[in-house]
């Protein structure tokens, strides 16, 4: 579905709100930083596999840049390297669903088995479900905060349950925090580095893809304790060795600048404004959508089977979206009629989508 729907959108001229890809460039400050970085001859050669030191320092979040941070080719590589470092045949990893599509394949690629922990209601909590899903083979639990596709941060009780698993059972909490900067104004992101005390039982994965509207840059990272980091780096050096050095250098330069906070705040504010506008437009069509705390996506109940609705809309040349069901490994009745729209688009793109939806409902 993740491949089929976007392909159909291109073939039928539909507005593609299925993929979380911006249809505009990154902030001018990032493009300027790249031009400056590229003018330095030294950035066009290999750097140490752990990544450009200045970038490691910028994303360390209190960890040691030298021993606890690894720069990767996007969050996806960080996830795959982490799973290969932590898992092997016979092991199990809990995956909290609805889940981003890369988690289970990364676990299987390591020879392990993904074990779903399904949230049966988008408004519910998985805190009470984790312990019952664990076996003697469970080594890892994978979560996402803020959460694609739900758009919310994990709750206090969910973090407490994760911390308890780590402390009592020695299970490593792998937290994908790619959307960490897209929280409401005045809200501080709280993630695994604060919620799980032992550095050897936690891995933070993140990237610049969403916070800097640069999904094609493929600059991500993994932050973990020294022991875990050595294992992650041992995999990473045989995968990409090091991501594109000019891009690493540009991101490091922007992050070190006084205006960096304003840049990411502007990206977040733009997303909030456009998501709010699109939700109101959908409400006018009788499609109720609640704007999430991290509104990269909107979830909408379309009143019928979402998979059939998505097929009909894209084939009519209208709008491409994804059914929420694709984020689960089995049918969940509460998700059957729910569609996910990616709203990381220009205002005119969303306006065109709203017009087409109005004409085809």
Q: Are residues 220 and 85 in the same domain?
A: yes
Q: What is the DSSP string of 227-294?
A: HHHHHHHHHHTTTTSS--HHHHHHHHHHHHSTTHHHHHHHHHHHHHHHHHHHHHHHHTTT--BPPPSS
> In this structure, are 194 and 340 located in the same domain?
no
Q: Is 331 left (phi over 0), alpha (psi -120 to 50) or beta?
A: beta
Tens of pLDDT, residues 139-194: 999 999 999 999 999 999 999 999 999 999 999 999 999 999 998 888 889 999 99
The CA-atom distances, in angstroms, between 308 and each of 305, 320, 336 are 6, 12, 10
61-89 pLDDT, tens digit each: 899 999 999 999 999 999 999 999 999 99
Nearest to 310 by CA among 288, 332, 326: 326
CA distances 267 to 28, 30, 181, 264, Å, are 11, 12, 9, 5
Q: What is the CATH number of the domain that holds 106?
A: 3.40.640.10
If asked whether residues 246 and 322 sit together in one domain, one would say: no
Both 215 and 111 in a single domain? yes
Q: Virtual CA dihedral for 142, 145, 146, 148, nearest 10 degrees? A: 0
Same domain, 182 and 198: yes
pTM for this entry: 0.96
Residue with tokens 């609640």: 290
Q: Are 75 and 211 in contact (CB under 8 A)?
A: no
What pLDDT score was predicted for residue 1?
Answer: 67
Give the C-alpha separation, 203 to 105, whole Å: 18
Q: Do 240 and 180 sit in the same domain of this protein?
A: yes
Select from 222, 185, 210, 207 the least CA-distant residue to 86: 222
Give the residue-averaged pLDDT of 227-255: 97
**Shared-domain flag, residues 284 and 144:** no
CA atoms within 13 A on the CB side of 186: 0
Tell me: do 181 and 153 sit in the same domain. yes
């Amino acid at each position: 579905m993740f491949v089929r729907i976007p392909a159909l959108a291109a073939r039928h001229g539909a507005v593609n709100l299925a993929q979380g890809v911006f249809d505009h460039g990154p902030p001018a400050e990032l493009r300027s930083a790249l031009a400056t970085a590229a003018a330095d001859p030294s950035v066009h050669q290999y750097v140490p596999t752990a990544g450009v030191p200045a970038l490691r320092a910028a994303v360390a979040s209190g960890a040691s840049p030298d021993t606890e941070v690894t720069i990767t080719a996007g969050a996806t590589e960080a996830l795959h390297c982490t799973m290969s470092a932590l898992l092997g045949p016979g092991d199990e990893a809990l995956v909290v669903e609805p889940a981003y599509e890369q988690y289970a394949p990364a676990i299987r690629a390591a020879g392990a088995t993904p074990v779903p922990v399904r949230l049966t209601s988008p408004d519910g909590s998985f805190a009470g479900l984790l312990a019952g899903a664990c076996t003697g083979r469970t080594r890892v639990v994978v979560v996402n905060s803020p959460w694609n596709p739900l758009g919310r941060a994990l709750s206090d009780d969910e973090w407490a349950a994760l911390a308890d698993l780590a402390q009592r059972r020695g299970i490593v909490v792998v937290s994908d925090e790619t959307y960490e900067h897209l929280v409401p104004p005045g809200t501080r992101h709280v993630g695994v580095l604060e919620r799980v005390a032992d550095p050897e039982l936690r891995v933070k994965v993140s990237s610049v893809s969403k916070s800097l509207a640069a999904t094609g840059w493929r600059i991500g990272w993994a932050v973990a304790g020294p022991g875990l980091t050595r294992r992650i780096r041992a995999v990473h050096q045989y995968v990409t060795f090091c991501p594109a050095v000019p891009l690493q250098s540009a991101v490091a330069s922007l992050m070190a600048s006084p205006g960096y906070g304003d840049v990411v705040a502007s990206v977040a504010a733009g997303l909030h404004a456009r998501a709010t506008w699109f939700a109101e437009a959908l409400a006018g069509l009788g499609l109720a959508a609640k704007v999430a705390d991290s509104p990269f996506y909107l979830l909408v109940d379309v009143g019928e089977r979402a998979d059939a609705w998505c097929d009909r809309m894209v084939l009519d040349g209208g709008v491409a979206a994804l059914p929420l069901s694709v984020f689960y490994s089995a049918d969940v009745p509460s998700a059957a009629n729910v569609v996910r729209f990616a709203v990381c688009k220009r205002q005119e793109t969303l306006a065109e989508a709203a017009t087409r939806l109005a004409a085809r409902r």
